[in-house]
């Protein structure tokens, strides 16, 4: 039953497809942290994983086939957090079943699939939100507003650092689309959102230094991408699957009248001071660093479903980020700068997450 035919005060029934690292967190957020939503079903072909999360969250309806979840009348919307190479098929099934979607990034595992997804969603009668949760992180939202208010003058340079503490297992890498598609898409999206301009050209370098097994899938574990923007601004992004210390996401925007730094290294605001040295603990992983953002993006999704508003982050944003990732991969392969080719210009850069706890 769709929400429009239900009592407006009834919570929106949500199913989670894929309950690995990310999906389990979304499922937990749907059991109390997000107002107006109720977790009603889980699907994962890994029966033990589905059962573990189902038992922990007291959800009876646990399936190994996501199509059984989609067949339920009490599922109004789904969160898709299965591997990227299953995404297109699942989105198609959700559109056919009339289920709204919050989909994890990337839109799909490659650009052609992402473009097919965008075309499919163009005429669909369901709502789609992409999981670029950094746009809901209170610090990034604050920085975005300061930049738009002119606090640093005209933004001219952006530096984006992305480092995981540990790389994912090689089995994940195979279906992920690779470092630029799987991970750097977050930074490519931040780059266009914070700078208020599109990326028009990239030059990429990279290598496999820490996990030689990634090369079997044609992937790298350390990469760097220089960016030039349509308004003449420039930027640099670097990404590593293994930092050797902790989870490290930092961004800096330099403007004509100052700079803004976003992000931090320490998990707690505690510094241990000893003779000759001091230290603090590091942010361990994305679940810790972006806990608020994951909750707020889901709240935004539910608020949009209840109010009929369009989510602030759409499939076009994901397609744009993948266009940049695709150009970066081409540049890495050719050793040359590569223009970013777009099929679908959008004016989404000024879209600001509204109705979230960050507003």
Tell me the DSSP string of 155-220: EEEEEEEEE-SSPPPHHHHHTT--HHHHTHHHHHHHHHHHHTS-EEEEEEEEE-SS-GGGGGGT--
Comparison of 6 and 175: residue with beta carbon closer to ligand NAD: 175
How far is Cα 20 from Cα 156, in angstroms, rounded to an integer? 39
Give the 3-state DSSP-derived string for 111-143, with helices as H, strands as E and coil as C. Answer: HHHHHHHHHHHHCCCCCEEECCHHHHCHHHHHH
* Residue of the chain from 6, 68, 148, 172 that contacts ligand NAD (CB under 6 A): 172
Is residue 66 near ligand NAD by the rule CB under 6 A? yes
Comparison of 15 and 155: residue with beta carbon closer to ligand NAD: 15
* Residue of the chain from 104, 198, 221, 323 that contacts ligand NAD (CB under 6 A): 104
Find residue 100's DSSP bridge partners.
Answer: 77
Comparison of 121 and 233: residue with beta carbon closer to ligand NAD: 121
The HSE-up count of residue 203 (CA atoms within 13 Å, CB side) is 8
Is residue 105 near ligand NAD by the rule CB under 6 A? yes
Comparison of 77 and 233: residue with beta carbon closer to ligand NAD: 77
Is residue 79 near ligand NAD by the rule CB under 6 A? no
Is residue 133 near ligand NAD by the rule CB under 6 A? yes
Binding residues for ligand NAD restricted to 292-331, rule: CB under 6 A: none
* Residue of the chain from 81, 94, 222, 233 that contacts ligand NAD (CB under 6 A): 81
Indicate left, alpha or beta for 255 from its phi (over 0: left) and psi (-120 to 50: alpha). Answer: beta
Comparison of 190 and 197: residue with beta carbon closer to ligand NAD: 190
Closest contact distance (angstroms) between CB of 279 and ligand NAD is 27
Stretch that binds ligand NAD, among 4-12, 83-91, 250-258, 329-337 (CB under 6 A): 83-91
List the x/- string, 38-57, binding to ligand NAD by CB under 6 A: -----xxxx--x--------
* Residue of the chain from 18, 54, 235, 353 that contacts ligand NAD (CB under 6 A): 18
Residue 228: phi and psi, rounded to 5, are -120, 140
Stretch that binds ligand NAD, among 12-20, 202-210, 238-246, 319-327 (CB under 6 A): 12-20
Closest contact distance (angstroms) between CB of 86 and ligand NAD is 5
* Residue of the chain from 14, 16, 19, 117 that contacts ligand NAD (CB under 6 A): 19
Size of the site for ligand NAD (CB under 6 A): 25
Comparison of 86 and 226: residue with beta carbon closer to ligand NAD: 86
Comparison of 97 and 151: residue with beta carbon closer to ligand NAD: 97
Comparison of 62 and 338: residue with beta carbon closer to ligand NAD: 62
Comparison of 44 and 110: residue with beta carbon closer to ligand NAD: 44
How far is Cα 178 from Cα 84, in angstroms, rounded to an integer? 11
Binding residues for ligand NAD restricted to 280-299, rule: CB under 6 A: 286
With b for 16 or more beta-carbon neighbours within 10 A and e for fewer, the 236-263 pattern comes to: bbbbbbebeebbbbebbbbbeeeebebb
Q: Which residues contact 217 (CB under 8 A, 6 or more apart)?
A: 170, 173, 174, 178
Q: Which residues contact 241 (CB under 8 A, 6 or more apart)?
A: 164, 166, 167, 168, 179, 183, 210, 211, 214, 221, 222
How far is Cα 100 from Cα 17, in angstroms, rounded to an integer? 13
Peptide bond into 106 cis (omega under 30): yes
With CB atoms as reference, the residue minimizing the distance to ligand NAD is 20
Angle between helices 138-148 and 291-307 (to 10 degrees): 70
Q: Which residues bind ligand NAD (CB under 6 A)?
A: 17-23, 43-46, 49, 66, 81-84, 86, 104-105, 131, 133, 172, 182, 286
């Amino acid at each position: 039953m769709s929400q429009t035919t239900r009592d407006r005060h009834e919570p929106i029934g949500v199913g989670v497809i894929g309950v690995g690292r990310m999906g389990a967190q979304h499922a937990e957020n749907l059991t109390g942290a997000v107002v107006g939503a109720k977790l009603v079903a889980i699907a994962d072909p890994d029966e033990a994983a589905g059962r573990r999360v189902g038992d922990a969250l007291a959800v009876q309806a646990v399936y190994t086939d996501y199509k059984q979840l989609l067949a339920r009348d009490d599922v109004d919307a789904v969160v898709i957090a299965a591997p990227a190479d299953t995404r297109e098929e699942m989105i198609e099934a959700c559109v056919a079943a009339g289920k709204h979607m919050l989909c994890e990034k990337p839109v799909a595992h490659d650009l052609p699939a992402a473009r097919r997804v965008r075309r499919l969603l163009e005429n669909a009668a369901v709502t789609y939100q992409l999981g670029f949760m950094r746009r809901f992180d209170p610090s990034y939202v604050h920085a975005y507003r300061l930049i738009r208010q002119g606090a640093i003058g005209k933004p001219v340079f952006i530096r984006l650092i992305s480092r995981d503490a540990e790389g994912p297992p090689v089995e994940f890498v195979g279906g992920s689309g690779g470092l630029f598609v799987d991970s750097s898409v977050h930074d490519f999206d931040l780059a266009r959102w914070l700078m208020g301009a599109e990326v028009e050209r990239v030059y990429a370098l990279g290598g496999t230094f820490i996990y030689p097994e990634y090369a079997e899938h044609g992937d790298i574990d350390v990469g760097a991408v220089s960016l030039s923007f349509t308004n003449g601004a420039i930027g640099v992004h670097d990404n590593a699957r293994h930092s050797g210390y902790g989870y490290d996401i930092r961004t800096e925007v330099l403007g004509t009248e100052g700079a803004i730094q976003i992000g931090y290294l320490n998990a707690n605001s505690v510094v241990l001071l000893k003779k000759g040295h001091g230290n603090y603990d590091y942010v361990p992983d994305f679940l810790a660093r972006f806990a608020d953002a994951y909750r707020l993006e889901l709240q935004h999704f539910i608020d949009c479903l209840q109010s009929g508003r369009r989510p602030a982050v759409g499939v076009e944003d994901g397609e744009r980020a993948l266009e940049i990732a695709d150009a970066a991969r081409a540049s890495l392969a050719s050793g040359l700068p590569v223009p970013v080719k777009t099929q679908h210009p959008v004016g989404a850069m000024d879209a600001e997450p509204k109705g979230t706890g960050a507003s």
